[in-house]
Amino acid sequence: MMNRLLMIVLMLLAQHVWVQAQTDFPQDYFRAPVDFRMLLSGTFGELRSNHLHSGIDIKTGGAAGKPLLAVADGYVSRVSVSAGGFGKAVYIDHPNGYTSVYGHCDRFADSLARWVRAEQYRLESFAVNLFPEPGQFKIKKGQMIAFSGNSGSSGGPHLHFELRTTADEIPVNPLLFGFDIRDFTRPTMQRMKIYPVGNNSFVRGRNKITEFALAGWGLDYRLKDGDTISLAGTFYFGIDAYDRLNDSDNKNGVFAVRLVVDSTEQYSHRMQQFSFDESRYINSMIDYEDFSRRKVRFQKTYIAPGNKLSVYETTTNRGLVYFNDGKLHRLQYVVEDANCNASVLTFYVQAAVPDFRIAMQMTVNPKPVRVFEWDTDNEFLAENFRLELPRGTLYDTLSFTFSQSPAGKSFYTPLYKVHHVGVPMHDYGKIYLKPQQLPASHKSKALVVQVPPKGDLISVGGKWEDGWLVASIRSFGNYSVVIDSVAPSIAAVNIANGKNVSGQKNITFRIHDALSGIADYRGTINDKWILMDYDAKNKLLVYTIDARMPKGSSLLKLEVTDERGNKKTYQAKLVR
């Protein structure tokens, strides 16, 4: 038994090595982007919110300010600064056809920092996306280009590092380029799910998605309660797994998943590369319904017809498996990391013949108001309500549900229940709402909001078209209309009117808008624009005091405007 299992595993590993060798990535070309040992808090292809992780996250000891080094000769092709996303990021083009990317930097080095700052002043904008001339910033391998940080939408100090093909901007898994990143640890499998398809499929006699606890480890994972499951009908499977690397506790994403039924591979995917366009298909790859409820990501073997993700390799019957022959079948789930460490879950399926008399008794839950096909445009109309879903919005045929209920005092339409949040949308749809009791004076302040069961309202904005308030939405759920007539708040953290600031390095504000969100901000000293770093996640605006604040008395002004045009102004006389 064990010998046979081992043989199958060795065969699968041999296949893995063969495929990887074929792809021929340069192994000795790039040096490390840091001068200390690389430990990872994120792997390539890791399952993230609405996207697959497009690089690796290198730990920086929990602190900012570590020198970042060019991984090879080249030139700076792009520098971007933004309040979210990668924050401060450097892109270097290399002669071998790859571009390296260094994200969430604290600051840029030397001449690059001076040039970016001059451009920010020229454009009067903190957020910039700059493309220097190829000869402008030539870089040598190992040259310091920036300091690591926590800028943009980073959840703690680290370096987000990417390798992309320069020509097509396709991110490729950096772990396939021979970096010295040690990983001798097999992936961990946490639990498995079996999904019956349709009303005529049964897991242990029940037409119900069933979760299985796992025991064992490494090549010897098994079901906790008995090794055989009775299945009748059509199914797909899901696995919740993660990978640890050496000397680090972080639970990172796995590289490859495959499902083998009776020694035949039925499903597999590998996180070698994907385009940014397809990254959002993650929502179809995972059990999105379960994710929206428990924040757990099961990777499914089922490939929905509208799912165009390119990381899939074996996709027999779109990952669906039929069991109706009365025989015993052996199934193996194989999960691998990029360093070819594999874990294997083995279990057995006793195929039974589906009992259609039970199927006949099944009740169909919430009655759909309409069936939407995944490969066409879809539209739904109700009183004072319209929904348009262009082709490309849905992954699968949808039994669409819709209802409305009174929404409460601060809302200007009923609460529209537009299907439910457990079904993902790929592209944007359009929602049209016609508020009935909205005073004309409040029209410009009205906005469409998603109303979650608990927590804050989520603004999706909206524009007026022929008496309809129209907004783009990328999520099903509950929607209504509110007004935002409240200006953003500005709190001065370390100044007050009349203060002498000669003893401090910077001037810091906390800015916030509760509903529609901050659209714009503008800081000036004596009516001249000043550069203020905006850190959206911490709601901080920071001006580093420099020569633009002259000796003597100055007038500092800050204006912050929200998405509905409500404006707040702060001003103070400061002495230096």
Long-range contacts of 501-505 (CB under 8 A, 24+ apart): 501/545, 501/549, 501/574, 501/575, 501/576, 502/575, 502/576, 504/545, 505/544, 505/545
Element housing 118 (H / E): helix 110-123
> Can you count the helices (H) and strands (E) in the chain?
5, 46
Segment interacting with Zn ion (CB under 5 A) among 39-47, 172-180, 304-312, 321-329 = 39-47
**With binding defined as CB under 5 A, does residue 160 bind Zn ion?**
yes
CB closer to Zn ion out of 8 and 254? 254
CB closer to Zn ion out of 46 and 287? 46
CB closer to Zn ion out of 43 and 272? 43
Angle at 306 between CA 304 and CA 307, to 5 degrees: 65
Q: Which residue has the tokens 């259609």?
A: 356
Positions in 368-407 near Zn ion (CB under 5 A): none
Segment interacting with Zn ion (CB under 5 A) among 22-30, 37-45, 483-491, 517-525 = 37-45
What minimum distance in Å lies between the beta carbon of 57 and Zn ion?
4
Positions in 468-497 near Zn ion (CB under 5 A): none
Q: How far apart are CA 347 and CA 567, in angstroms?
A: 62
Going by their DSSP bridges, the two strands 138-139 and 74-81 should be labelled as antiparallel
Which region, left, alpha or beta, applies to residue 21 given φ > 0 means left and ψ of -120 to 50 means alpha? alpha
**With binding defined as CB under 5 A, does residue 57 bind Zn ion?**
yes
Question: Interface mask (CB under 5 A) for Zn ion, residues 104-143, using x and -?
Answer: ----------------------------------------
What minimum distance in Å lies between the beta carbon of 92 and Zn ion?
17
Q: How many CA atoms lie within 13 A of 159 on its CB side?
A: 30
What minimum distance in Å lies between the beta carbon of 59 and Zn ion?
11
Segment interacting with Zn ion (CB under 5 A) among 57-65, 208-216, 324-332, 449-457 = 57-65
Task: Answer for the pair 326, 284: CB distance below 8 angstroms, yes or no.
Answer: no
**With binding defined as CB under 5 A, does residue 88 bind Zn ion?**
no
What minimum distance in Å lies between the beta carbon of 48 and Zn ion?
8
CB closer to Zn ion out of 53 and 244? 53
CB closer to Zn ion out of 158 and 419? 158
Look up residue 281 and give its DSSP letter.
G
What minimum distance in Å lies between the beta carbon of 443 and Zn ion?
42
What minimum distance in Å lies between the beta carbon of 153 and Zn ion?
10
CB closer to Zn ion out of 155 and 408? 155
Segment interacting with Zn ion (CB under 5 A) among 129-137, 158-166, 203-211, 217-225 = 158-166
What minimum distance in Å lies between the beta carbon of 531 and Zn ion?
26
Element housing 260 (H / E): strand 256-261
**CA separation (Å) from 454 to 79, 127, 280, 457, 564?**
39, 33, 25, 9, 24
Segment interacting with Zn ion (CB under 5 A) among 2-10, 50-58, 199-207, 442-450 = 50-58
What minimum distance in Å lies between the beta carbon of 523 and Zn ion?
30
Positions in 183-202 near Zn ion (CB under 5 A): none
Beta strands in 112-187 (DSSP E): 128-130, 138-139, 144-147, 158-165, 171-172
Going by their DSSP bridges, the two strands 342-351 and 228-242 should be labelled as parallel
Q: Which residue is nearest to Zn ion (CB)?
A: 160
CB closer to Zn ion out of 42 and 157? 42
Q: Concatenate the DSSP letters of all residues of 348-375 into one string.
A: EEEE----HHHHHHPPP-S--SEEEPTT
Q: How many CA atoms lie within 13 A of 355 on its CB side?
A: 12
Number of residues that bind Zn ion (CB under 5 A): 3
Segment interacting with Zn ion (CB under 5 A) among 13-21, 154-162, 375-383, 449-457 = 154-162
**Nearest CA-CA partner of 343 in 212, 250, 216, 227:** 216
Segment interacting with Zn ion (CB under 5 A) among 49-57, 185-193, 354-362, 363-371 = 49-57
What minimum distance in Å lies between the beta carbon of 149 and Zn ion?
13
Segment interacting with Zn ion (CB under 5 A) among 29-37, 152-160, 340-348, 486-494 = 152-160
CB closer to Zn ion out of 160 and 419? 160
**CA separation (Å) from 210 to 193, 203, 360, 499?**
6, 7, 21, 65
Segment interacting with Zn ion (CB under 5 A) among 38-46, 105-113, 256-264, 507-515 = 38-46
Residue 179's beta-bridge partner residues?
none
Six-digit token string for 312: 């899939």
What minimum distance in Å lies between the beta carbon of 159 and Zn ion?
8
What minimum distance in Å lies between the beta carbon of 279 and Zn ion?
12
Which region, left, alpha or beta, applies to residue 72 given φ > 0 means left and ψ of -120 to 50 means alpha? beta
What minimum distance in Å lies between the beta carbon of 55 and Zn ion?
5
CB closer to Zn ion out of 104 and 269? 104
CB closer to Zn ion out of 274 and 432? 274
Beta strands in 49-147 (DSSP E): 51-52, 56-59, 67-69, 74-81, 88-93, 98-105, 107-108, 128-130, 138-139, 144-147
Where do contacts with Zn ion occur on this chain (CB under 5 A)? 42, 57, 160
